[in-house]
Each structure stands twice: as structure tokens, then as C-alpha cells.
Structure 1
Amino acid sequence: MTAKERLIREIEQTPENLIEELLDFLLFAKNRRNQQANESNSANQLTIKSREQQQKSKPIWEIFEEANQDLPEEVIAKLPTDGAAQVDHYLYGKPKQ
């Protein structure tokens, strides 16, 4: 005998007020499972979209190159050449080392 058949037999012998509670629980459990499945599908879709975006996105150095193309030579000449070594100086005003 399957679980469904056993459940039906038990329901036939159960008082109406308990059947209402069982129905509420069954609907709740089904709804929760559907939500979990939907959340899982949504997470999978976001992961797929994220991978697609990563594949389409450019490396950071190409983005910097494109941004710097429009800078005039005078501005580029004024930029510090030791920015990476002296990052604390340029960001926080600490003395150069």
C-alpha cells in the first residue's frame, strides 16, 4: 500500500476539524516547496546572468585605457608617476616615504 493510499484511509477515519488542520498544513508545505524551488531557479538564473556579464565585461585595464583616451596631455603630465608606491600620501595626506 502506498503512502497516498494509507493517507486517504486515515483521512476517511479522521474528524472534520482535524482534516481542516491537515489541509492547511498540506497547502503550507506545498507552498513552501514551491517557494524554495522558485528561489533556487532564481538563484540559478542570477548565476547564469552573472557569468554572462563577466564574460561580456572588459578587463579593468581596458576600462582605464578608454577613460584616459579623452584626457588632454597637460592633465596626464600632471598625474603622479609614483601613485601606487605612495598611495597613502595621495589618498590620506601622509608624508611620502
Structure 2
Amino acid sequence: MTIKERLIKELEEIPDTIAEEMLNFCLFLKHKNQTQTKEQEKSDLLNFLHDVEIISQEIPAEEWEKLPVDLSKNLDYYLYGTQKNYRSTCLRSPF
């Protein structure tokens, strides 16, 4: 018998007042776990960005200057030779 099956069996045998407390406790644990997961993801992202910053500081300025100014907009062009995007990224006013 799995833990969930044992828990369900116990819940079927307890009074409703205790079942309500169990439900509140389960919801609390679920929320606590979700919060910890989000905090861990945020921590992982910050660690990754810190590592990127350290690595980028090791690259000489001359190398950064060799990168095309439109690299992010035309990454597929530079990697795979697809058609280059010449459109402006500025939005035009409809007025």
C-alpha cells in the first residue's frame, strides 16, 4: 500500500473536523513547497547570471567590438545564413 493510499484510508476514518485540519495542513505544505521551489529557481538564475558576468569580464574589449551590433536581432543570419532582418525595431506611431 502506497503512502497516498494509506493517507486516503486514514482520512476516510477520521471525523470531519480533523479532516478539515488535515486539508488546511496539506494546503500549507503545498504552498510552502511551491514557495521554496520558486526561491530555488530565482537563486539558480541569479547564480547563472553572476557566472555569465564573470565570464564576460574575462573577454577583452577588442573581442566585444568584433560582434555585429545587430547580433541579437539577426542571430539566425549569423549562425545559419538565413535572410537578414533589416526592419527597424522602432515602433511607428499610428498618428
Normalising by the residue count of structure 2, what TM-score does the alignment of the two structures yield? 0.57
Higher Cα radius of gyration: 1
- Cα-Cα RMSD: 1.8
Q: Which residue of 1 aligns with 2:9?
A: 9
Return the letter of the residue paired with 2:56: K
Q: Secondary structure at the match of 1:32?
A: helix
Count of residue pairs the alignment pairs up: 60
Equivalent residue number for residue 44 of structure 1? 44
Deviation of residue 57 (structure 1)?
2.6
* Corresponding residue number in structure 1 for 2:18: 18
**Structure (1/2) with the larger helix percentage:** 1
Identity within the alignment, %: 33
Q: Name the counterpart of 1:34.
A: 34
CA separation of 1:58/1:3 partners in 2, compared to 1, >3 Å: closer, same or farther?
Answer: closer
Q: Deviations over 1:23-48 (max 9, x none)?
A: 00001011111111111111010000
Scaled by the length of structure 1, what TM-score is found?
0.56
Amino acid at match of 2:41: N
Q: Which amino acid in the other structure matches residue 39 of structure 1?
A: E
**Amino acid in the other structure paired with 1:20:** E
Provide the C-alpha distance between the structure 1 equivalents of 2:7 and 2:58, rounded to a whole number of angstroms.
58
Q: CA deviation at 1:58?
A: 5.9
Q: Which amino acid in the other structure matches residue 56 of structure 1? A: S
